[in-house]
Structure 1
C-alpha cells in the first residue's frame, strides 16, 4: 500500500497512527501541501478533493478522507480494532471523533488559514485568535465527553481507538499553535499516555520521511 501524506497534516497523522497500531507495512509518498503539490493533475485524479491523505491499496483502489481510510483499514485488517461493533463504546468513540474531525479540524486546517490571510487579509494576530477560539470551543466539548467516558490513558476504554487517532494530532496542532490548553486535563492525560506508545511515536510528524523536504 501507498500512503500519500504530509508530515504535519493532522488527517494524515490520524491514518499513520491507525496503520502503526495495526502493524501494517506501507510506503509513504510525501505530498507537500505548503507548496501546492496536492493540486497537481495526477494527484487530483487520485483524490478529487485535492487533500491529504490518500491511501492506494494493493488492489490499486485510491481512498481519500482519513475517516473513510481508517474505516477501510478496520474492516480489512481487524487486528487491534479501532471502532468496536457494539454500543455504548462505539457511539462514545464516534461522538468524540466527530467533535474533532467535523467541528474543530475543518475550520482550522491549512487551506482555511491561508484563505483568511491571502484572500481576506486577516492579520497573523487575528488568525491566531481564530485558531484559538475554535480550539477552545471544540476541546471544551471533548473534555466533557472524556469525563463522561471516564477516560484515563485513552479516550474510551483500555486500548487506543479511533478517538485517540483523532485527538492526538489535534492536540499536537494546538500545541504547535501555542494555544492555552490548561483547561483540558483529561485530553492532556490521553495525549501524554498515547505519545509514549511505539505506534504513536512512529506516526509523529517529526519522525516522517518527508519532514526534511517540507
Structure 2
C-alpha cells in the first residue's frame, strides 16, 4: 500500500463530513498515494460549506470529489472506479479482468442494495406521504431488516479470497468496510455471518484504514 498523501501539491478536493461515505474515498485516495484536501460539507450541517457543495452536486450528496482537472465526481463506487482506472498500479480494481469485473459487480451491489437503504433509514419522511410516527418507524424497521438481508447475501457471494478485491485489499474492501458500519449491519453480521465479520475486521486493520476510521469515528473518551 502507498504511504499517506503529502500536504503539498494538493490535487483532489473531497467534500464530506465526519462519519460519512467520504471515508470510503479517503481510503481510496490514500491507497493510491494521492494528495487531497477536504472541505467540510453536508446537507444537514448548516455551518458547513453547503453552497459550495450545492454548486458541484445539486443533490448535495457526499462524498463529492473534484479532480485535479476540475471535473466533478459523485457516488462512492464511481469515484473508486475512477481511482482504480487512473492509478492501476494501486490495484484497487484487482489484477485481472475477471477479478475487476467481480469488483465492479460488488461495488454496484453495495451502492444499489446496501448504501441506498441508509437514506431511507435516516430520512423515512422522504419516502412516505404518511406523517404518523408509527408508520415511519415501520418503514425504518422494514428497511433495516432488508439492509441486513442484503449484507447476508453479499457475504455469501463475496467471501474474500483472501480479500474482497483479490490478493490485496482494494476498492471493494474500502466500500464494504465503511458502509457496513451503519445501521447495525456489523452487529448483525457478527451474529449471522461471523467469518465475513472477521474479514471486515481484518480490512479495518490494513494500512491507512485505521487512521481514516479514527478521523471519522474518534474513540470515545472516558
TM-score for the superposition, normalised by structure 2? 0.77
SS in 2 for 1:3: strand
CA distance change for structure 1 residues 129 and 44 in 2, over 3 Å: closer, same or farther?
Answer: same
Choose which of 90, 99, 102 in structure 2 pairs with 1:92. 102
| Higher RCO (CA 8 Å, separation ≥ 6 residues) | 1
Q: Given that residues 117 and 147 in structure 2 are in contact (C-alpha distance below 8 angstroms), is that contact kept between their aligned partners in structure 1? A: no
Choose which of 82, 90, 108 in structure 1 pairs with 2:118. 108
In the alignment, structure 1 residue 51 sits paired with structure 2 residue 61? yes
- Unaligned regions of 5+ residues in structure 1, if any? none
CA distance change for structure 1 residues 190 and 113 in 2, over 3 Å: closer, same or farther?
Answer: farther
Q: How far apart are the structure 2 equivalents of 1:36 and 1:16?
A: 23
Partner residue in 1 for 2:215: 207
Query: What whole-Å deviation, never above 9, does each CA across 1:159-181 have from its counterpart, x for those lacking one?
Result: 11221111101221144886464
Partner residue in 1 for 2:15: 4
CA distance change for structure 1 residues 107 and 176 in 2, over 3 Å: closer, same or farther?
Answer: closer
Q: Given that residues 118 and 183 in structure 2 are in contact (C-alpha distance below 8 angstroms), is that contact kept between their aligned partners in structure 1? A: no
Choose which of 18, 30, 42 in structure 1 pairs with 2:28. 18
CA distance change for structure 1 residues 184 and 70 in 2, over 3 Å: closer, same or farther?
Answer: same
Question: Is the deviation greater in 135-144 or in 170-179?
Answer: 170-179
Counterpart mapping for 1:164-179 below 5 A: 164-175=173-184, 179=188
SS in 2 for 1:29: strand
Partner residue in 2 for 1:134: 146
Query: What whole-Å deviation, never above 9, does each CA across 1:175-205 have from its counterpart, x for those lacking one?
Result: 488646411123212211011123111221x
In the alignment, structure 1 residue 182 sits paired with structure 2 residue 194? no
TM-score for the superposition, normalised by structure 1? 0.80
- Unaligned regions of 5+ residues in structure 2, if any? 1-11
CA distance change for structure 1 residues 141 and 80 in 2, over 3 Å: closer, same or farther?
Answer: same
SS in 1 for 2:149: helix
